[in-house]
Amino acid sequence: MKQFSVLLTFDYELPLGSCKDYSRGLFEPADKLLKLAGELKVPVNLFVDICSLQMFKDWDYDKYFVPFKKQLQSALAEGHDIQLHLHPHWLTSKYRNGTYFPSNNFTLSHYRNNIYPNNISGIIENAVALLNEIGREVNPDFHCLAYRGGGFNLAPDTDLIINALYQYGIRIDSSIARGYYFRSNIQTSDYRKTPDKANWFISLNGELNSEANNGILEIPIASMPPYFIHRMKRYYKKIRNKKRYKSIHYDHTGTGYIGKIPDFRSKILNVIYSPFFFSFDYLTYDISLIDEIIRYNMRKYHKEDQIMLCAVSHPKFFGEYQLSLFHDAVSFIKSKYSGLLNFTTFRDIACILRLQ
């Protein structure tokens, strides 16, 4: 029987624009998530915003660096996975009187012309080294091998990014969400044209629209096209349940940071090309929608030998509703797809596929 692998991935990061309480913004919801995952006996994969850790080592060592590192090492010791996530805007952001002020240097491409180690290659090298250092204090054999770009960004300068990732040991990427497009004044992600496969290799020349024989394995964020009926249901829920959503919304005491949408055309395209992600973040999601996203991908790729599906979520959004949805959805998946779907980690995938 063909098996589908599911990776429960979480971008382990603060609200990127501001945050009044680091514990509430990251550590408390992540702790609840890890505890629940342990009770459900499923591994989670934390994509670690390592650039924030690099900066907070100087900015706020005791309240951020120490609990951040401790939580990652605890997760690793409990059988979860930690992998690389880069929001390089931290490197040029400012910090004054307990408050950080985000830079517009949101993508790695902003650093392409800098002198090493402040260029793309140096940023990736130092980030991988720090995450490896953290992991090896728990497991001497740990090495970082998977990556997710901040804001799902792999462009521009994709060739420089992919080559640097490969050079420093990254063998799996999970930055792509098929059909997704987003543009602001500080970033552009365009995945409207990708290979029509569940998983594929990205060439070291950085070509994202075609499949290569080798390079970095892409395990995209599982998604489903934004069919009209689903859009209407979601808008209806937002309007009908506005007061309820407001009351159960998790307050992480912070703000996001995606930049400004530059023109009307971009606003329209951002909405049109916004697929439904396999995620537990949203108050409008329920088990039936998550199951429909899974079934869509199972039908679409049922002829392939290796099918790996990534869910994407964020601890910073995890209030009681998200925790409940995560619990119920994982329990439902285990029951309905017993023997067909298995929950796994990037380390296990790399071992099985012998990615070195």
- The secondary structure element, H or E, covering residue 49 is strand 45-49
CA 290 to chain centre: 17
Which residues touch 77 (CB under 8 Å, ≥6 apart)? 138
Asked whether the predicted pLDDT for residue 178 surpasses 70, the reply is yes
Q: What is the mean predicted confidence (pLDDT) over 110-121?
A: 97
Give CA–CA dist 159/163, Å, rounded: 6
Residue 3 pLDDT: 76
**Residue 339 pLDDT:** 87
% of the chain residues with pLDDT over 90: 91
How many structural domains is the chain composed of? 1
pLDDT of residue 164: 98
Is the per-residue pLDDT at 1 higher than 70?
A: no
Answer whether residue 151 shows pLDDT above 60.
Answer: yes
Instruction: Examine the pLDDT at 140 and tell me if it is beyond 60.
Output: yes
pTM over 0.75: yes
Mean pLDDT of 287-300: 96
Of 355, 47, 5, 7, nearest to 215 (Cα)? Answer: 355
Pairing mode of beta strands 200-202, 216-218: antiparallel
How does the average pLDDT of the chain come out, rounded?
95
DSSP secondary structure letter of residue 91: G
Work out the average pLDDT over 16-38.
97
Strand partners, 341: 4
Mean pLDDT in residue range 141-168 = 97
Each residue's pLDDT tens digit, 179-237 = 999 999 999 999 999 999 999 999 999 999 999 999 999 999 999 998 888 889 899 99
Are 296 and 327 in contact by the 8 Å Cβ rule? The answer is no
Please answer whether residues 282 and 355 qualify as being in contact, where contact means their C-beta atoms are separated by less than 8 angstroms: no
In this predicted model, what pLDDT tens digit does every residue of 329-341 receive, in sequence order? 999 999 999 989 9
Alpha helices, DSSP H only, in the chain? 22, 28-40, 50-59, 66-77, 120-136, 158-167, 228-240, 242-248, 264-272, 287-300, 320-336, 346-353
Confirm if 14 and 95 have CB atoms less than 8 A apart. no
Parent domain of 18: 4-353
pLDDT mean over 104-117: 97
How many CA within 13 A on the CB side of residue 170? 33
Over range 146-171, report the average pLDDT: 97
Residue showing tokens 């009770």: 39
**33 and 315 Cβ atoms separated by less than 8 Å:** yes
CATH number at residue 145: 3.20.20.370
Average pLDDT over every residue of 51-75: 97
Question: In angstroms, how far is CA 79 from the centroid of its own chain?
Answer: 19
Any idea which residue has 């050079």 for tokens? Answer: 167
Radius of gyration of the chain measured on its C-alpha atoms: 19
Residue whose entry in the numeric block shows the structure tokens 């490896």: 132
Residue at token pair 């392939």: 304
pLDDT class of 239 with cuts at 50, 70, 90: very high
- Length of the chain, please? 356
306 pLDDT tier (thresholds 50, 70, 90): confident
Closest by Cα among 237, 239, 234, 254 to 317? 254
Judged by DSSP in three states, 5 sits in strand
Cβ neighbours of residue 304 closer than 8 Å, sequence gap 6 or more: 197, 198, 199
Q: What is the DSSP string of 175-242?
A: --BTT-EEE-SS-EEE-SS--SSSSEEEPTT--SSS-BSSSEEE-PBPEE---HHHHHHHHHHHHHTH
Inter-residue contact 278 to 223 (CB < 8 Å): yes
